[in-house]
Structure 1
Amino acid sequence: MSPPRIALITPMLPVDHDQTRGRYIYETARALSRLAEVRTWFIQPRYPRLPGLSPRSFLHDDIGPDYRIEGIDVEALSYPAIPGLSRVLNGVVASRLLTPRLRRFAPDLVLAYWVYPDGHAALRTARNLGIPCIVGARGSDIHVRSGINAIMTRRTIAGVDRLLTVSKAMRLAAIKQFGASENRTLTISNGFNTGIFRPLDRVAMRNKLGIEPQARLVIYVGRLVESKGLCELIEAHRRLVQRNRNLRLVLIGDGVMRERLGTLISTNGLENSVLLAGGCEPEQVAEWIAAADLLTLPSWSEGYPNVVVEAIACGRPVVATDVGGTREIIDSSNGILIPARNVDALERALDDALERSWDHTAIAAAMRRTWDDVGRETLAVCEQVIAEQR
């Protein structure tokens, strides 16, 4: 039997200003493309270029139809939207653009990542074409929903043939909060790129990145938004650097909080100990992880944070908040879990982790799950759903 034709819908893939954005979806699409015939539609809202009508939670830039990325067959398109005002219609409008494109591709199944509005658009399109639909939830599309987003998320989940979650905690949240079917909700956790995220020589990486041998280096990798706990991180660092002048903090990524963070750093006199490194390619992220003493992720909410997986694969311990599926990655051998939005706990945990003796080789050896594993498991679910309909 020939491999299935899968139409993959996503609003998130790596872009020029943020190479970490949607990396986990890209890696899943690439792994799945090695096993089946997959075409990816990278679908984005297109906002009016007017003051006050830009999204507040993420940097937005129109992605042109010439968008390309190695390893996947991708078509980028955008639909008109107004932040907040068009939220209830975004899925409908996006589906109208998707339906003729998918009809020409003639897929056996639609697979979408991000429940609303993109999963809803995928579901409407799949029903128009008479084929099954699977939606994958990634994090805040389950954990941070309210108002019309919550209503439409529930409707989308009720209609799909399968709901995929990246953590067991998210699966339970989808069942309890949105009425997802226990039998049709499955967990497929993320993997990591073994060719990039692996133990590297710490001294060599510090020399390359210009980090002093005596520095105690803590890094953060992710979007620069308030919900990632960055204000708490800056405050915890401010306290710690008063006791340890060799402490350094590097923030890797980009986002709407970039300017505010710059102000916060200068206001607290932290210019010599905090670096805003900007968005980095995965290879650069791996170098920073190797150079660091530890990685921290003090988020208020998470799905299954891939940067935590990548740090552990590189042999580095992690201090992170006990939210979402983070507990499914971190234990006492590879990190410390703390409550969210708690500066005191974050300060103590960072201090403790920096002083503790970690077995870096054992930390890295315990992380083995790859994106090929994710691709195989995802394909198995797709094939099962296609067989059920037939």
Structure 2
Amino acid sequence: MRILTFTSLYPNDMDPRLGIFVKNRMCAFDALDGVSRTVIAPVHYVPLLGFSKGTRFYRNNHIHLQENQDGIAVWHPRYLTLPGTNFINVADAMAKAGEKCLPDAYPDDEDFDLVDGHYLYPDGVAAYHLAKTHTKPLVLTARGSDVNYWMEQDKPRTAILEALAYARKIICVSQALKDRLIGHGVPAEKLTLLLNGVDPTFFAAAHSAEIEKNHLITVGNLVPLKGHRYILEALVKLPQCRLTIIGTGEQEGRLKALAKKLDISPRVTFLSHVPHADLPRYYAAAHCSILMSSREGMPNVVLESLAAGTPVVATNVGGIPEVITAENGILLPERNADALVDAVNSALAHPWNRQQISQNMRPLNWPETAKALRQIFTDAL
């Protein structure tokens, strides 16, 4: 079974955490017998902006065209975008970039059996163009904003529905995403629920970490939809707490300025880059973790926190209520600082069974996810 994974959400030498949830699932698949895989992970570039240090375009210019990750060939062809314009069809540009590197990715008349596309737009639409051009089966994975945001936009929705019509199987990482796609008219028999996984052993190994009283943690990109500002505003009314924020993004400077304005900077630690292997001990040392997203698919940060035994306080959106229960966390009635203050105070006072929280996550592991994935691919073929 020769799989071509196509997605822009895949780690590279400049951003080793990008799309780590995609890589983790597929690495578990790679460990199965009788399978092989190649990755095409296109990288966008903009002329001139690529020379501006500190921008993502500058970093993208320094990503190697081809690399080997854990024995898997990963290709990073470039495609042109012009931010803020509609002159370029991004999905078409990604597909053309992928097409150009196929002769090098599959030399000597080698071929692939199936295209495995992650994130419906623009990645999944580009994966559809590749699969259709080469008359190959297509399996797409819906992951969150591709359904919750892009399918609410007219042109992207039309392109996504065309790709979904061609796809033989569509994987949804939460029931909420599956329900939304059914609402868009996608046949239910095409849709398969397959939650993200975690490595329970990897996260349970951090249980020896000493829990720091009143220590809060949030992990995620520093972008508006993640709602970090609500956490900072809540911290003003939680004078006993300190907060660690792990992540990078466009709002980093703004959030640091807000922490200073609110006079809470001494109690807030910003950590831009934490190796994935170090995350378990950060989760395990926290009293609870927080996620204030406005929309989600099935966030791995919630699964990882629970696998480490750390309860979660989160917004009631997307697939989050499918895994958060009264035994492992608190769902917010509203997305604001006041609701968060009340929830955090309740979480700090609650006698959580952290060992049980972790234990309950053991069935949701990557090896079992990989076996289910292979069956989905087999059915598609």
| TM-score using structure 1 length | 0.88
- Structure 2 runs not aligned, ≥5 long: none
Is contact 2:143-2:173 (8 Å) kept? yes
C-alpha separation between the residues in 1 aligned to 2:125 and 2:22?
Answer: 17
- Structure 2 residue aligned with 1:75: 75
C-alpha separation between the residues in 2 aligned to 1:321 and 1:332?
Answer: 14
Among candidates 217, 228, 243, match of residue 249 of structure 1: 243
Is contact 1:18-1:253 (8 Å) kept? no
Deviations 1:213-254 (A, max 9, x none): 5x410000111111101111111111212xx2xx11000011
SS in 2 for 1:196: helix
Is contact 1:199-1:290 (8 Å) kept? no
Is contact 2:46-2:57 (8 Å) kept? no
Q: Which amino acid aligns with 1:80?
A: L
Among candidates 252, 255, 267, match of residue 261 of structure 1: 255
Query: Does 2:379 match 1:374?
Result: no
SS in 2 for 1:98: helix
Q: How does 1:92-111 map to 2 (within 5 A)?
A: 92-102=92-102, 104=106, 105-111=110-116
Deviations 1:106-161 (A, max 9, x none): 11110110111111111111111111111111111111122433332233222222
Deviations 1:191-229 (A, max 9, x none): 102342115245x457xxxxxx5x410000111111101
CA RMSD of aligned residues (A): 2.3
In structure 2, the CA distance between the partners of 1:87 and 1:301, relative to structure 1 (3 Å rule), is farther
- Structure 2 residue aligned with 1:180: 186
Q: How does 1:41-56 map to 2 (within 5 A)?
A: 41-50=40-49
In structure 2, the CA distance between the partners of 1:60 and 1:158, relative to structure 1 (3 Å rule), is farther
- Structure 2 residue aligned with 1:12: 9
C-alpha separation between the residues in 2 aligned to 1:70 and 1:354?
Answer: 41
C-alpha separation between the residues in 2 aligned to 1:16 and 1:322?
Answer: 35
Q: How does 1:229-244 map to 2 (within 5 A)?
A: 229-241=227-239, 244=240
Among candidates 139, 147, 154, match of residue 142 of structure 1: 147
Percent pairwise identity: 29
How many residues end up aligned between the 2 structures? 367
Among candidates 149, 152, 156, match of residue 163 of structure 2: 156
Is contact 2:176-2:319 (8 Å) kept? yes
- Structure 1 runs not aligned, ≥5 long: 207-212
C-alpha separation between the residues in 1 aligned to 2:280 and 2:244?
Answer: 13
- Structure 2 residue aligned with 1:23: 20
SS in 1 for 2:189: coil
C-alpha separation between the residues in 2 aligned to 1:22 and 1:282?
Answer: 12
| TM-score using structure 2 length | 0.90
Q: Which amino acid aligns with 2:244?
A: V
Among candidates 190, 213, 218, match of residue 216 of structure 2: 218
C-alpha separation between the residues in 2 aligned to 1:299 and 1:59?
Answer: 26
Deviations 1:294-345 (A, max 9, x none): 1111110110011111111111100011111111111000000114532221
- Structure 2 residue aligned with 1:32: 29
- Structure 2 residue aligned with 1:306: 300
C-alpha separation between the residues in 2 aligned to 1:308 and 1:60?
Answer: 31
C-alpha separation between the residues in 1 aligned to 2:182 and 2:84?
Answer: 26
- Structure 2 residue aligned with 1:131: 136
